[in-house]
Amino acid sequence: MSEIPLTDILSLLWFMLVWIGYTWYADYVAHRRRSLRAVMHAHRYRWMLQMLTRENRMTDVNILHTLQQSVSFFASATLLIIAGLLTILGSSDRAIEVVRALPFAATSSLVQWELKLLVLSFIFVYAFFKFTWSLRQFNYCAVLIGAAPAVKDKEYARRAADVSTNASKDFNQGLRAYYLSLATLAWFISPWMFMVATTLVAIIMYLREYHSATMEMLEPSASE
């Protein structure tokens, strides 16, 4: 630990605090309020109610297939990123020399460099697990659509919507990991820039999920 400067430790702690704090707020505190997650859950519930009234549910299966494709793409891309990071970790000496040639990058020891790469690797491993679990939950939702009764059962529609929303929640958590990994890139320049970038990414995510124009357009009107 003595080889790692205090500023790097503080910036990493700030990063973890922001990530855990935002996840706790978005997924366990504010999701019942006016947010993209709450708005989309209402639409999913209406979708499942409509699905129960259709004899031919190929439309619903196609919608779900589109959602699965997005998750599958990110899961596959994440594996490639993890492989690339492990490759760089295996050739750290040469990579450090390339970074040191940049005029704006901070000088890093081998221990600092490997710590930063390990943190990045952890972020993408976390994202991979979130994407794959999201994909499995969408598969479960497909089974629920296939097994849905031919009557308008509101309780069944609610449970199917809940499974779809939970799958979306894990997909969103994987995307947040991607956003925060971009902030981690600033760590290779300066720990202070890392803290600033982490804060900016959290603010951007908050504005998009709670105060974006898209959310206002998706929000159901009073007449609906």
Please say whether the beta carbons of 179 and 205 come within 8 A: yes
Over residues 84-106, the mean pLDDT reads 68
Q: Which helix (H) or strand (E) holds 89?
A: helix 58-90
Other Cβ atoms less than 10 A from the Cβ of 113: the count is: 19
At 78 the pLDDT is 96
pLDDT in tens, 49-93: 999 988 888 888 898 999 999 999 999 999 999 998 888 877 666
HSE-CB for 166 with a 13 A CA cutoff: 13
pLDDT of residue 57: 85
What is the overall mean pLDDT for the chain? 87
pLDDT of residue 110: 73
Q: Return d(Cα 216, Cα 224) in angstroms, integer.
A: 14
* Across 162-178, average pLDDT: 95
If 0-12 CB within 10 Å is exposed, 13-18 middle and 19+ buried, where does residue 83 land? exposed
Q: Which residue has the higher pLDDT, 77 or 99?
A: 77
Residue 28 has pLDDT above 60, yes or no: yes
Lowest mean pLDDT among 24-28, 37-41, 106-110, 133-137: 106-110
Residue 223: pLDDT band by 50, 70, 90 thresholds?
very low
- Per-residue pLDDT band for 222 (boundaries 50, 70, 90) equals very low
| pLDDT reported for residue 90 | 73
CB 215 within 8 A of CB 31: no
Q: What is the dihedral of CA 37, 42, 48, 53, to 10 degrees?
A: -160
Confidence of residue 108 (pLDDT cuts 50, 70, 90): low
Per-residue model confidence (pLDDT) at position 81: 94
pTM, to two decimals: 0.87
CA distances 42 to 144, 161, 201, Å, are: 18, 8, 27
Q: Per-residue DSSP letters for 45-74?
A: HHHHHHHHH-S--HHHHHHHHHHHHHHHHH
Model confidence pLDDT, tens digit, residues 173-193: 999 999 999 999 899 888 999
Report the percent of the chain where pLDDT is more than 70. 87
Report the pLDDT value the prediction gives residue 120, as an integer from 0 to 100. 93
